[in-house]
Structure 1
Amino acid sequence: MEKGNAGALLRSRVALVLAEVLRGHSLTEALQIHQPRVAERDRALLAELAYGVCREFFYLDAIAGQLLRQPLKKKDQDIRALLLSGLYQLVFTRIPAHAAIGESAGAARLLKKKWAVAVVNGSLRCFQRESQQLIEKIKRQNTPEVRYNQPRWLVDAICKAWPQQAESVLKGLQLRPPFILRVNLQRCELSEYISELAAEGLKGRLVPGIPSALMLEKPVDVSRLPGFGEGRVSVQDGGAQLAAFLLDAQPGMRVLDACAAPGGKTGHLLEHTPDLDLVAVDVDAQRLARVAENMQRLGFSPQLLAGDASRPEGAWAKCVYDRILVDAPCTATGVMRRHPDIKLLRRPADVEALVQRQKEILAAQWSLLKPGGKMLYATCSLLPQENDEQISSFLREHEDARAVMLASRTGIGMHHGLQLLPDKLETDGFYYALLEKQEI
């Protein structure tokens, strides 16, 4: 890549990150590759622009469609991303228009596509002149994709699954995610930690129904959180924190966390019930390294093993467990405000494939559960196929399984489990079902 001014270099990197997402790679992976290649002072802006474009993608793409004389070719996803990034800066940030336009055009040159300099420059200047008319035109069209910044298939799926709550859920998914803390209640009371935050100029408030959670008014670097380095507090969504309370593990029990990475629920299980014989397994050895890092900060030493939860092998698969947590791979439709690239990555066919994998994991893990033991099935999905319908199917196929009704001050009680919706700020979308293995 050619040398250029810092602004153009930054915007070229934003375009490359977003182009990776448009080709099917996760935003997290793309940022891990490209963030180290920009100056440290620019990394936060790189992430803000990349996340922002993903969050507002369908709205921005509709505007871009009005500006371009003809659609860009598939091989020019980087230029499409660059144009969307420029529009995001003009509509949603305080970046001066001359910088957003000029440096976006300069980035096209750095991307070795000189023909695109005029396209990007002309399109953004046209929007600057005619923004009000263009935005009004988009609003008049009022398509579900633009109104909710979601693909049409997913809007339809959410409306079908949650007809009464669909509007509030779809609006909730457009919000910026809350900054939720998990306080280690073995080491600190919530009221005590609120006081410690106040001493640092930070305001925390309780999250209804989540005994270990506090919400901050705005995100901060973890270095500003009292006791973070010593493991007294962690960052974790309130809905995710429910798992440790619902699993009902008791001291001395042998517990399996079958899909453990990145380790948030693993750590909370040990905080909530310190004397557990806990084994944490994940199919991805690299992600398991993150679990190890988290455990080191928290001061815990569970057994960490690489393994496929759908095909248990090795020493961990020869044991039986009192409690098993299955935090199953899913569409992640409930956490899209934290991971807005999901709306661009997911396809309808993914649902069926994930449902099948969940079914395989449930069956495999059930064989490792002691009679009288309990398994907590969890997803961060809003789709019934992955949640209550999945559990209904499991119960039909396993005569020794019984669903335990979950008592919670938050969420919606389903036929078999508990559903949290992202229609409120405090929690993302999660599903939990607790299954007990009976003697036959």
Structure 2
Amino acid sequence: MSDSSSKTLKDARALAARVIARLYQDRGSLQRLLPWAEKQVDEKDRALLRELCYGTARFAPRLELMLKKLLRKPVKDEELEALMLVGLYQLEYTRIPDHAAIAATVEAARAIKLGHATGVVNGVLRNTLRNKETLTRKLSGNPQFSSAHPEWLQQAIKNAWGSEARTIFTANNENPPMTLRVNAAQTTRDDYLEQLKQAGIPAQTCELADSGLILETPVAVTRLPGFEEGLVSVQDQSAQLAAHLLDPQAGEKILDACAAPGGKTCHLMELQPDLDLSALDIEEERLDRVIENMERLGIAVQIICADAAEPEHWWDGEQYDRILLDAPCSATGVIRRNPDIKLLRRPEDIAELAELQGRILRAMWPLLKPGGTLLYATCSILPEENSAQVARFVAETPDARDNTPQLLHDQPWGLPQEAGMQLLPGIHAGDGFYYAKLEKLIPEG
């Protein structure tokens, strides 16, 4: 991203192509790449840039198949291929007039030094318009095309959730709502809802989260009343359940493992300010986000930059009353918010992540007091990372008990699993999330 051509690139479509190409090349992420890209374009073009990047990533599995049909031979230049995907996205999914989208995309080819390929770009996009119905008919039976998910992921979701899979695909392909978490330590949800009304920002209460509000239309956080003063944060309602499920009590020693970017850390302190809370994460850069969130909300916790799987390097030996383990995962439950997951994840990632989750879970258990609670959470919808992971751990750990069934009896939401419970996008309100509430049994006698 530091080459000279990147520094001078100003065209939104050309930049979008470069971002999409980077996703394919080195498995970066939109979260990392977009801030860089947005600095290259005028402020008036940033919304278009974001739309092109997120939209192209969201429908890339479908657009790839279309492009393959439209090309006589494969394209060797990844930025050129990415630019054509950006062009197809505009024709298929935006209100940009077709002639304008084609002309601007052809011009973008020149901006990224692909002037020799303008004829190819022009031809592919015009052929799309001429042959759209035929193209759609030929591809409609392809599961990757119909679901707009990579074939392996489409099959994995279908294997896990059967007839619910189609609803999940549809939800993953939609733009997500903007969901807020009202800071209960400073105000009430009803009072903040009134503040939003006065600011001309329509919203409604969340179905799952007691402090949650969903905006009718997303807005910049700078428009949210009291945002800088910590009255409210942006967090999906499924993620807001974590702090409530952990149920922190005054004076307890609590560990938020894998804490970045800190939404759940801050929520715990909002619910119960009298905590001895530590936030742990392996990446220093991501912990900076935790610190930023805490400073805005006016709270303080101990920050630990270390590997959760190796507590021997950082743990002081004093056990915790409660542990929140928001384990690293495939993030397949939050695809609607992070559509680049469709490009970044590979089939082999799931087994690697499951192995890492197992190591961290086993490493965390000795840190928990007898009688204590460990809440295992992921934003995945794949059983290998969730119910199968926890069921195996409980079976192998004599002093571990899954208390999630009682939780579901008290608060009937989510799907009961072999162990824990699952929230699914499109089936339940909020993102896809998994929770298992594990109790460490007190030794008899």
Taking structure 2 as the reference length, the TM-score comes to 0.94
Contact 2:306 2:314 in 1 (8 A): no
**Secondary structure of the equivalent of 1:367?**
helix
CA distance in structure 1 between the aligned counterparts of 2:128 and 2:339, rounded to whole angstroms: 25
Show the counterpart of 2:277: 278
Residue type of the partner of 2:114?
A: K
Correspondence for 1:18 among 7, 10, 20:
20
Show the counterpart of 1:300: 299
Is 1:392 the counterpart of 2:394? The answer is no
1:322-341 alignment, distance < 5 Å: 322-341=321-340
Show the counterpart of 2:400: 401
1:300-379 alignment, distance < 5 Å: 300-379=299-378
**Secondary structure of the equivalent of 1:334?**
coil
Contact 1:334 1:382 in 2 (8 A): yes
1:111-140: per-residue Cα shift (whole Å, max 9, x none)?
22333211111111222333343334333x
Distance apart, 1:42 and its partner CA: 1.6
Distance apart, 1:66 and its partner CA: 2.3
Cα 1:69/1:319, change in 2 over 3 Å:
same
Contact 1:317 1:368 in 2 (8 A): no
Between 172-181 and 242-251, report the one with greater CA deviation. Answer: 172-181
Show the counterpart of 1:46: 49
Contact 1:392 1:416 in 2 (8 A): yes
Distance apart, 1:225 and its partner CA: 1.1
Is 1:250 the counterpart of 2:243? The answer is no
Is 1:259 the counterpart of 2:254? The answer is no
Correspondence for 1:413 among 416, 424, 442:
416
Is 1:439 the counterpart of 2:438? The answer is no
Distance apart, 1:50 and its partner CA: 0.3
CA distance in structure 1 between the aligned counterparts of 2:103 and 2:85, rounded to whole angstroms: 14
CA distance in structure 1 between the aligned counterparts of 2:339 and 2:184, rounded to whole angstroms: 31
Show the counterpart of 2:203: 204
CA distance in structure 2 between the aligned counterparts of 1:323 and 1:309, rounded to whole angstroms: 15
Distance apart, 1:151 and its partner CA: 1.0
1:370-423: per-residue Cα shift (whole Å, max 9, x none)?
111111000011111111110111112211111112233421122321210002
Contiguous gaps of at least 5 residues in structure 1:
none
Show the counterpart of 1:110: 111
Show the counterpart of 2:223: 224
1:62-110: per-residue Cα shift (whole Å, max 9, x none)?
221222111112xx11111100111111222222333321221122222
Residue type of the partner of 2:349?
A: D
CA distance in structure 2 between the aligned counterparts of 1:48 and 1:136, rounded to whole angstroms: 27
Contact 2:388 2:418 in 1 (8 A): no
CA distance in structure 1 between the aligned counterparts of 2:316 and 2:122, rounded to whole angstroms: 59
**Secondary structure of the equivalent of 1:260?**
coil
Between 168-177 and 280-289, report the one with greater CA deviation. Answer: 168-177
CA distance in structure 1 between the aligned counterparts of 2:316 and 2:23, rounded to whole angstroms: 36
Distance apart, 1:302 and its partner CA: 0.6
Is 1:36 the counterpart of 2:35? The answer is no
Cα 1:249/1:389, change in 2 over 3 Å:
same
**Secondary structure of the equivalent of 1:41?**
helix
Show the counterpart of 2:11: 9
Distance apart, 1:315 and its partner CA: 4.8
Contact 1:215 1:426 in 2 (8 A): no
CA distance in structure 2 between the aligned counterparts of 1:230 and 1:316, rounded to whole angstroms: 33
Distance apart, 1:313 and its partner CA: 4.2
Contact 1:185 1:212 in 2 (8 A): yes
Contact 2:157 2:382 in 1 (8 A): yes
Distance apart, 1:438 and its partner CA: 1.4
CA distance in structure 2 between the aligned counterparts of 1:116 and 1:27, rounded to whole angstroms: 26
**Secondary structure of the equivalent of 2:333?**
helix
Distance apart, 1:425 and its partner CA: 7.0
Between 293-302 and 100-109, report the one with greater CA deviation. Answer: 100-109
Show the counterpart of 1:234: 233
CA distance in structure 1 between the aligned counterparts of 2:234 and 2:442, rounded to whole angstroms: 39
Is 1:134 the counterpart of 2:146? The answer is no
Q: Tell me the matched-pair count.
A: 435
Show the counterpart of 2:126: 125
What is the RMSD of the two structures over their aligned residues, measured on CA atoms?
Answer: 1.9
Distance apart, 1:60 and its partner CA: 1.6
Residue type of the partner of 2:47?
A: A
Contiguous gaps of at least 5 residues in structure 2:
none
Show the counterpart of 2:102: 101
CA distance in structure 1 between the aligned counterparts of 2:72 and 2:403, rounded to whole angstroms: 59
Taking structure 1 as the reference length, the TM-score comes to 0.95
**Secondary structure of the equivalent of 2:438?**
strand
Residue type of the partner of 1:397?
A: E
Between 64-73 and 339-348, report the one with greater CA deviation. Answer: 64-73
Is 1:181 the counterpart of 2:183? The answer is no
Identical aligned pairs, as a percentage? 48
CA distance in structure 1 between the aligned counterparts of 2:135 and 2:426, rounded to whole angstroms: 30
Contact 2:147 2:166 in 1 (8 A): no
Is 1:148 the counterpart of 2:173? The answer is no
**Secondary structure of the equivalent of 1:163?**
helix
Is 1:55 the counterpart of 2:58? The answer is yes
Cα 1:164/1:66, change in 2 over 3 Å:
closer
Between 307-316 and 157-166, report the one with greater CA deviation. Answer: 307-316
Cα 1:417/1:43, change in 2 over 3 Å:
same
**Secondary structure of the equivalent of 1:56?**
helix
Contact 2:333 2:379 in 1 (8 A): yes
Distance apart, 1:2 and its partner CA: 6.9
